Amino acid sequence: MKKIVLITGATSGFGKAIARKFAENGYDLIITGRRKVLLEELARELITDLNVEILPLCFDVRKLKEVENAINTLSEKWKKIDVLVNNAGLAVGLIPINEGVIDDWERMIDTNIKGLLYMTRMVSPLMVSRKQGHIINIGSIAGREVYPAGNVYCGSKFAVDAITKGTRIDLLPHQIKVTQIAPGAANTEFSLVRFKGDKERADNVYKGFQPLQAEDIAEAVYYVTTLPSHVNINDLVLMPTAQANSVNFLKK
């Protein structure tokens, strides 16, 4: 029987590349996100190219009722989730704390922390009942080192780090693997979202150096699922060679 991976935030960036990588390796996929058209487009693409089964589920991870409904109404086949990739997330704004926009803070906290928690709360019991599964949380270098004006986004990713460690402890008796992948700068829709559609500012983030590509993260996520059952990667920090930490870049 084919394995099943559930990927949140599969409409662009890492999530989309992760979906393709698992589909290429024979998994059936549950892909999620808010943009229905993009989800369905990806589903069609992967079904045609790779002959896999795809279940696109359009919902907002910030809304507990939507998350509950999505998971509770899965058929028995789709409830057998082998891998959950908690990827959906965003930064909104890059502003000193004293000028911060409360709505931006709430979007980040609700998506990056509470959304990840809601997904984990709903999917982990399914894994516990089967005594198998792997939860992969997408953290960030921003969850290791705070940078100027990163305040709440960094805080949300530090929370992902702590929640990942806590999840690993709590799921230890049930033999569920828990991994955090923490990337540095990668050229996706991330900066476009952070700067609220300002493309010039977004493009500027990646000028003068080679950032990570979404496919690099997909490789890492898939790799950690290929190890023998007695081996788990707890934590993987994945950086562009031209980025030493949150603030030091080698730019041409």
Closest CA to 113 of 67, 148, 163: 163
124 binds, among ligand NDP, ligand 8X3, none (CB under 5 to 8 A by kind): none
State in angstroms the smallest separation of the CB of 205 from ligand 8X3: 7
Tokens of 220: 């890492």
Among 52, 185, 202, 239, binds ligand 8X3 (CB under 6 A): 185
Q: Which of 5, 12, 22, 52 binds ligand NDP (CB under 6 A)?
A: 12
Q: Which does residue 246 bind out of ligand 8X3, ligand NDP, none, counting CB within 5 to 8 angstroms by kind?
A: ligand 8X3
Indicate which residue of 118, 153, 206, 222 is catalytic. 153
Q: Is 237 strand, coil or helix?
A: strand
Closest approach of Cβ 129 to ligand NDP, in Å? 25
Quick check: helix, strand or coil at residue 34? coil
In the complex, least distance from residue 90 CB atom to ligand NDP, rounded to whole angstroms: 5
Q: Which does 156 bind (CB under 5 to 8 A by kind): ligand 8X3, ligand NDP, none?
A: none
Residue 153 designated active-site: yes
- Binding of residue 66 to ligand NDP (CB under 6 A): no
* 14 or 27: CB nearest ligand 8X3: 14
String of DSSP letters for 85-145 = EE----------GGG--HHHHHHHIIIIIIIHHHHHHHHHHHHHHHT--EEEEE--GGGTS
**Burial class for 118, CB neighbours closer than 10 Å (0-12, 13-18, 19+):** buried
Distance CA 103, CA 109 (A): 10
Nearest approach in angstroms of CB 29 to ligand 8X3 is: 24
